[in-house]
A and B are shown apart, each in its own frame.
Chain A
Amino acid sequence: MRPSESFPKVKYLYGPVATIFASTKTGSWRILRPVIQQEKCTRCGTCAKHCPLDVIEVDRGNKEKEVVIDFEYCKGCGICANVCPRKCIEMVPERGVK
């Protein structure tokens, strides 16, 4: 270990700036959570294409692989549920999800 690592110098920044990005995990904003019926889903990928945060992972046409949503960032906007051609995404209140 180099000496500078064991004794890091400290300085202070002035003005509006964040160096700890605590509020970037937009999943904390979510009130409604999209829940996908994996059996009904055809893996068409329409939801992933429309997701404004690009947090839905679909292996198109591969029924074996489940659709995965990154809930650290999903805001629960509901666009996926609206565009789903099979209507197999339901928006469930967060508190109701176990």
Chain B
Amino acid sequence: MDGNAAAAEAMRLARVQVISAYPITPQSPIAEKLADFVAEGSLKAKYVRVESEHTAMSVAIGAQLTGVRACTATSSVGLALMHEVLGVASGCRLPIVMAVVNRSLASPWSLWCDHQDSMAERDSGWLQFYAEDPQEVLDYLLIAYRVAEDPRVLLPAMVCMDGFFVSHTPAVVLVPEQETVDSFLPPYNPANLYLDPDDPMFVNDLTPPSDYTEMRYQHKVAFEEAFKVITEVQEEFFRLFRRRYSFIETYKCDDADVVLVTLGSMSGTAKYVVNELRAKGYKVGVLKIVVFRPFPADQIRNALKHVPVIGVMDRSAGLGAEGGPVWIEVSRALSGLEPMPKVAGFVGGLGGRDLAPHVIEKAFRNLIDIKEGKIEMRQGSKWIDVREDAMKIREVKVNV
């Protein structure tokens, strides 16, 4: 099954009870599959047809407050339209789990993959997981429910997959038995805020400056707690399902001179390129970031402290910043190391452009050249796959 099908399957296994989704390419198959499950009776849930993503998230918030597992999924401008209510979900500490199928933001209008949609929400107070393939989509969703709903965390979670590269590309997915999932994921128990006429609460009321900072601080502490909880849940997931996950995945980093940091589907291509370059004698490796929120700075620092040259591939432009957002955060995580590694940023794979092996290899060659002292590391992210005629692609003739 493809990534979208894996997401719908995970949500069925999690026994979600209210679904409010608005279709958007490339997320639509999730919304459709969940509707099929409800229609055929294999998922006992209420499917609410909403008129926008803002409403989809608002309905999910209301539903989750009544004490059920609410369910939605979106992409791109749909996620952007949710922006306001994403903060309501996280600020009210509602553990809603959402699949995000990464697609670039307008304009230019594009249906295709990059990470700007979810990167734009990196400070919305949601947990963020990035899946490399459909199996990880299913597994991270199940893990996300457990982490999000843990009373020490109580944060909503996005499980992100690359549009089309993961969402529409079929792969073998091991779907666990319902009973095993039930033992991993008990029915939702609202541990914090809820709506109950017999025990009334006024949720999301106006908060004066005397309390706002403290509630934000509680939110920050939840992310710190999430480190411990995610580790515990990944351990239990391994015990039950025999697939081991961590905050990061390192591939041939132990003796590496040069490592590329990746996110999502590009990681598989990068591992392939590592094998090709290793066959030619280059000591290269890949570090895939699985959990982006909370940002695993310690884990990244520990894994890369011996590596002299590190590259970070951003699949979003980081407009107006010195470079892409992942590069900025990885650079920060590694600062203060003695000796300080060189951390080069790359921007590539925007708007559906394939991060093909030759593009990843170009990034590695750049890093190897920096390592061998052949070139200086440039400040800011290098656009690795931009065409040379970028400033001249729309030529018009003007009569004076």
Contacts and interface: CB of A to CB of B under 8 A. Distances in A.
Nearest to A3: B400
Contact of B398 (A8, A15, A16, A17): A8
A14 interface: yes
Given A15-B107, A15-B108, A16-B109, A9 B400 contact: yes
A5 B107 CA distance: 34
A27 B391 CA distance: 32
Contacts of B108: 15-16
Contacts of A4: 399-400
B392 interface: yes
B397 A9 contact: yes
B392 A12 contact: yes
Interface string B86-112: 000000000000000000000111000
B394 A5 contact: no
A10 interface: yes
B391 A12 contact: yes
B205 interface: no
A9 B391 CA distance: 16
Contacts of A14: 391, 394
A45 to B, nearest CB: 38
A19 interface: yes
A16 B393 CA distance: 10
B394 A12 contact: yes
Interface string A31-56: 00000000000000000000000000
A32 B65 CA distance: 51
A12 B395 CA distance: 5
B396 A11 contact: yes
A2 B61 CA distance: 67
Interface of B: 107-109, 391-400
13 contacts: A5-B399, A8-B398, A8-B399, A10-B395, A10-B396, A10-B398, A11-B398, A12-B391, A12-B392, A12-B393, A15-B108, A16-B109, A19-B394
Given A12-B395, A15-B107, A16-B108, 10 more contacts: A4-B400, A9-B397, A9-B400, A10-B395, A11-B395, A11-B398, A12-B391, A12-B396, A16-B109, A19-B396
Give me the 5 closest cross-chain CB pairs, A-B, nearest first: A16-B108, A8-B397, A13-B394, A9-B398, A4-B399
